[in-house]
Copies of this chain bind each other. A is one copy, B any other.
Amino acid sequence: MKLLLIASALLPSALALWPLPTSYTNGTTPLTLSKSFNIKIDIANPPADLVAAVSRAKGYLQNDKLEALVIDRGASSASAIAKAKSLPSLTLSLTGKGSVQSISAQAVAPLESRVEGANSTLGLFRGLATFGQIWFDLNGATYTLSAPIQISDSPAYPYRGFMLDTARNYFPVADIKRTIDAMSWVKINTLHWHIVDSQSFPLEVPGFLSLSQKGAYSATSVYSPSDVKDIITYAAARGIDVIPEIDTPGHTSVISKAFPEHIACAEATPWASFANEPPAGQLRLASEATVNFTGSLLKAAAGLFESHYFSTGGDEVNANCYTQDNETQASLESTNKTFAQALDTFVQSNHAALRSVGKSAVVWEEMVLANPVTLANDTIVMVWISSDDVQAVAETGYRIVHAASDYFYLDCGHGGWVGDFPTGNSWCDPFKTWQYAYSFDPTANLTAAQSELVIGGQSLLWTEQSSSANLDSTTWPRAASTAELFWSGPGGNVDTALPRLHEVVYRFRQRGVAANSLQPEWCALRPFACDLTA
């Protein structure tokens, strides 16, 4: 991805780009956008989603109206801006010939074939996001003080995600789409959608409608196939792949509402003996009927999505639930299998069902560590329990997505949520600051070969204590910190990052995303003045 602006003076030392590009140079010459500024597409028959992206980019340039984050908000640059040359247009072009793929097609391609850095419509889209971060407003003039600017850019890691749990509490489609827009502004390319869980089943799966009819929180707290289509289309046009997750065999209590025969220990009490959180309930993984049911359900759900990937979860399988379940014990006995063998069969069957419709599997770390099963070589493993587990996962040879609770869980640090627990803290306290996530080293303790297995990482919002009410402010700007870590690579400096991250906050707000304040505005307008040793 390259940006070049043809066209000085008082800017803070860095352009406020987020994530930071691979390389850039800038001058100190003021430049404005022409009142008739246009973005031209120098591509024959440009894809419709690129045309639409250009239209949105022009909208941001017109509507952001973000004043520079300096004490006078840019006023002292007024005469320089008034005298500045104006940029009449930006031209998007690709090198080489041949057919041009749409952004959407590239967004959902397998990770290894996605081109985000250059010479693709997806690369151009990423460049548009960068271009939109260059400009400030002063009395209606859209300007930079930093021309000429030259940027080369490509991501350090192919997978940069955000996970949203829509099962503990439901989020309307509008929340998800607003989040997708925000993700695209900081070049996050994957929405890991933890759609359903033990508490609710908001997904309408063709052929399995009773699951959502009986398991959604309400008739309106559902994602219909057209909602899913809306979300994945919206996401893809913004360079984002939506990887769905239906967690199995644990975290499935709600399935008992419609298919009680497939769930062991459904709502058994005390819940803490049967599950990590209420309600208890797991798929009867040793039952052939349940194996078939699960494979069919996953296949039907997978048909709603375009992604090459589908997560079958696999975390927090509770052994006691199965030990106490007569049906499971009978199934194990009749098939002469151990629990581990039955789990292996269950997972292999599910993954085969998904592979039959073109999907590669994503799993949580237990599927290679605590409860290892047979997995295809292309399986992606998400580390969640602790970053300490990364090395062990790497030793299994599968591709790794960093999602460790000790760095990337946005929900931690708000105390325990279970009832009748007055002094309860949450297991993943404390709160994960943006600085802490930013300091993460994706290849710590890994060999060079193991490091190749790391395909990226993500922030995660589990929603026991979250809802529409705090979605934006809990997610942003912290998820942007992780986005820069995996786009720009590790080793970033929290001190120099902070002024740029303030700009993320202020620009997001101008675009309708309620990102939270990192500091008093006094500090936001005075880079480095609120540093510990300033």
Q: Which residues of A contact B (CB under 8 A)?
A: 73, 167-170, 198-200, 217-218, 269-272, 277-279, 413-425, 429-431, 433, 435-436, 438-439, 463-470, 472-474, 494-495, 498, 509, 514-523, 525, 528-534
**Docked pose: A215 CA to B166 CA in angstroms:** 43
Please name the residue on chain B nearest to A533 by beta carbon: B270
Chain B residues near A423 (CB-CB < 8 A): 435-436, 439
Q: Check B420–A533 contact: CB distance below 8 A.
A: yes
For the complex formed, measure the closest distance between the CB of A368 and the CB atoms of chain B, giving whole angstroms: 28
Complex Cα distance, B509 from A425, in Å, reads 26
- In the complex, the answer to whether B430 meets A430 with C-beta atoms within 8 Å is yes
CA of A419 to CA of B517, assembled, Å: 13
Knowing A278-B530, A470-B470, A530-B419, the reply to whether A199 touches B521 (Cβ < 8 A) is yes
Chain B residues whose CB sits within 8 angstroms of the CB of A217 once the complex forms: 521-522, 525
CB <8 Å contact, A421 and B199: no
Instruction: Tell me what chain A mostly uses at the interface: helix, strand, loop, or mixed.
Output: loop
**Least Cβ distance of A29 to chain B in Å?**
27
Contact of A420 among B218, B470, B474, B495 (CB under 8 A): B495
Q: Is A430 in contact with B415, judged by CB distance below 8 angstroms?
A: yes
Could you give 14 example pairs across A and B, Cβ below 8 Å?
Answer: A170-B521, A199-B522, A199-B523, A413-B414, A414-B431, A415-B436, A419-B494, A419-B523, A419-B531, A420-B528, A420-B531, A466-B516, A469-B473, A470-B473
The 7 lowest CB-CB distance pairs between A and B, nearest first, are A415-B433, A199-B522, A470-B473, A469-B514, A168-B520, A419-B531, A420-B531
Tell which of B168, B430, B474, B520 touches A463, judged by Cβ atoms closer than 8 Å: B520
A8 → B minimal CB distance (Å): 26
A273 CB, nearest partner CB in chain B, Å: 10
Question: Which residues of the partner chain B approach A420 to less than 8 Å between Cβ atoms?
Answer: 494-495, 498, 528, 531-534
